[in-house]
Chains A and B, each alone.
Chain A
Amino acid sequence: MTNGAYNYAYLDEQTKRMIRRAILKAVAVPGYQVPFGGREMPLPYGWGTGGIQVTAAIIGHDDTLKVIDQGADDTTNAVSIRRFFAKVAGVATTTRTEEATVIQTRHRVPETPLREGQILVFQVPIPEPLRMLEPRETETRTLHALSEYGVMQVSLYESIARHGRISKGYNYPVMVNGRYIMSPSPIPKFDNPKLDRSPALQLYGAGREKRIYAVPPYTPVKSLDFDDHPFEIETWEQCCELCGSKESFLDEMIVDDDGKRLFVCSDTDYCERRRTLPEAAE
């Protein structure tokens, strides 16, 4: 079943134990970034080395894996990672959100509500939410340790002062369990409310910076805002051209040389389900 040249799920057992220990610590301290000894993976940094190591450490023979990239199951990255685990771990793969037990994702949270027992693995490029405001790593760690988050609020203030509203559209900072400010990875802020008190376990892996953090099931996740400029998600005047959804996150596509635009669901599985099963659309 699995390829004999590799250990089960590619990584050696000691590495997987080390990553699991980091995950346990991350789950115990929601939102806290746990350093781990990241390994070289057979794909470049930025393509999901962190997520793939987390997935490798937690995936078992009975798991069903789904991988999405920008909401789509059929992009190169998603297909390659899915095929990778089918080969080195022999697990079943799926594109259906409901059927998956482990979902590795880049830039989206599936539209279909997650349930208990599912694990969402995020690929994270920059785990440190304060990085752009405070370049010194020693200082950002101190700020997290002392819960000194005035500077994060300063950046939101500056955004309103300059644009009239909080202009951050993705990677929108959140407060986890009232303690740690966390970068939710570059998901659109549209997905932030789905993180709050989610029944699924959320694991975040940053391969280049070698950090793992987590949000356990049913943990409060609050998007930062001001009392008079509350957090809002994106809305569209259009609905999905293919399935007619008014609730899902839409991608804008230019379909010909005349600049004709089309809005479609970014979550391909959700869109397809609505088209093939009319009752799912209701």
Chain B
Amino acid sequence: MKPLLSAKRLTKRFGARVACQDVDFDLWPGEVLGIVGESGSGKTTLLNCLAGRLTPELGSVTYDSAAYGTIDVHDLSEARRRLLSRTEWGFVNQDAREGLRMGVSAGANIGERLMAVGARHYGDIRRTASDWLSRVEIERDRLDDRPTTYSGGMRQRLQIARNLVSEPRLVFMDEPTGGLDVSVQARILDLLRSLVGSLHLSAVLVTHDLGVARLLTHRLMVMQGGAVVENGLTDQVLDDPQHAYTQMLVASILPV
């Protein structure tokens, strides 16, 4: 078996500031990898480098594509990378407004990827959009409403539907539950867990919330100051942290 996504000695600097340094990992098909660490530790930069949104100074990211075979994400032409990112990949932003078109209805938001790859039957697009809306637990009669009329949690679920409609193999998630209240978070986590299972998705999930990481991820990378300080199975890392920083992170979870 080949890894789906593989990073080798990935390094990104902003001027003299190191955002992430010498990051190595393999993501296997069906696996959910969590990246945790405090704010400013380079999690989001790493995610953007993996998704081809930022170009790293050093190192490489290879992806095992269904359509093109094994490819280097940063050697791809822009056309191909953009095609990849709206067919085989998904990207869920922390702020749903960045990932949605706020000016058009939920149905158009979900249908955009389908239309981008050539769907030209209004009725079919609408039916698919409606199915996805109910899969992410939004009432079907909200299909023609704009996301501006949605609550934060609904927007996030809409963003997930918009990404998953093209049946991607790999989803990048940047704090998908950040900024939502706890009960809404729980619903979205439940939803993500069932979707990841039923669609055999692989995912890279950035979060600062260890609870989210424990629920969703199989493997965990802990980052501090741009470097990976610990890396292992999620339960192992959280139950028996080895690095001093991880121990501090685990110890600072508020007991309920």
Q: Which residue numbers of A lie inside 8 Å of B, CB to CB?
A: 142, 146, 148-151, 153-155, 157-158, 160-162, 225-229
Chain A residues positioned under 8 Å from B113 (CB to CB): 150
Main secondary structure of the interface of B (DSSP, over half): helix
A189 to chain B, nearest CB (A): 18
| Complex Cα–Cα for A206 and B79 (A) | 28
| Complex Cα–Cα for A155 and B115 (A) | 11
| Complex Cα–Cα for A226 and B121 (A) | 5
In the complex, how many residue pairs between chain A and chain B have their CB atoms under 8 Å apart?
55
* Also in contact, A146 and B78, with CB within 8 A (given A154-B104, A226-B122): yes
| Known contacts A151-B116, A161-B143, then 17 further A-B pairs from the complex at CB < 8 Å, ordered by chain A residue | A142-B78, A146-B78, A149-B116, A150-B112, A150-B113, A150-B116, A154-B101, A154-B104, A157-B104, A157-B122, A158-B108, A160-B122, A161-B108, A161-B126, A161-B144, A162-B144, A228-B122
- Inter-chain contact B78/A157, CB cutoff 8 Å: no
A181 to chain B, nearest CB (A): 13
Chain A residues positioned under 8 Å from B82 (CB to CB): 146, 148
B17 at interface by CB-CB < 8 Å: no
- Inter-chain contact B104/A226, CB cutoff 8 Å: no
- Inter-chain contact A154/B122, CB cutoff 8 Å: no
What are 30 pairs between A and B in contact, CB < 8 Å? A142-B78, A146-B79, A146-B82, A148-B116, A150-B86, A150-B112, A150-B113, A150-B115, A150-B116, A150-B117, A153-B115, A153-B120, A154-B104, A154-B112, A154-B115, A157-B108, A157-B125, A158-B104, A158-B105, A158-B108, A160-B122, A161-B105, A161-B107, A161-B143, A162-B105, A162-B144, A226-B121, A226-B122, A227-B120, A227-B122
B123 at interface by CB-CB < 8 Å: yes
A151 to chain B, nearest CB (A): 7
Chain B residues positioned under 8 Å from A151 (CB to CB): 112, 116
| Complex Cα–Cα for A191 and B81 (A) | 38
A219 to chain B, nearest CB (A): 21
A136 to chain B, nearest CB (A): 14
Chain A residues positioned under 8 Å from B108 (CB to CB): 154, 157-158, 161
* Also in contact, A157 and B111, with CB within 8 A (given A146-B78, A146-B79, A150-B116): yes
- Count B interface residues, CB 8 Å: 23
B98 to chain A, nearest CB (A): 14
Q: Mark B80-104, 1 if CB is under 8 A from A, else 0.
A: 0010001000000000000001001
Which of A150, A158, A228 interacts with B123 by CB under 8 Å?
A228
Residue of B nearest to A160 (CB): B122
B218 to chain A, nearest CB (A): 33
Chain B residues positioned under 8 Å from A154 (CB to CB): 101, 104, 108, 111-112, 115
Residue of B nearest to A157 (CB): B108
Interface centre among B78, B111, B115 (most CB of A within 10 A): B115
| Complex Cα–Cα for A230 and B117 (A) | 19
| Complex Cα–Cα for A250 and B121 (A) | 32
Interface centre among B78, B79, B86, B120 (most CB of A within 10 A): B120
Residue of A nearest to B105 (CB): A161
A138 to chain B, nearest CB (A): 12
Chain B residues positioned under 8 Å from A225 (CB to CB): 120
Chain B residues positioned under 8 Å from A153 (CB to CB): 115-116, 120
Chain A residues positioned under 8 Å from B78 (CB to CB): 142, 146
- Inter-chain contact A155/B122, CB cutoff 8 Å: no
| Complex Cα–Cα for A149 and B82 (A) | 13
Q: Mark B110-146, 1 if CB is under 8 A from A, else 0.
A: 0111011100111101100000000000000001100
Which of B112, B116, B120 interacts with A226 by CB under 8 Å?
B120
B72 to chain A, nearest CB (A): 20
A241 to chain B, nearest CB (A): 37
Chain B residues positioned under 8 Å from A155 (CB to CB): 104
A101 to chain B, nearest CB (A): 39
B141 to chain A, nearest CB (A): 13
B124 to chain A, nearest CB (A): 8
Residue of A nearest to B115 (CB): A153
B253 to chain A, nearest CB (A): 42
Interface centre among A148, A149, A158, A228 (most CB of B within 10 A): A158
| Complex Cα–Cα for A162 and B115 (A) | 18
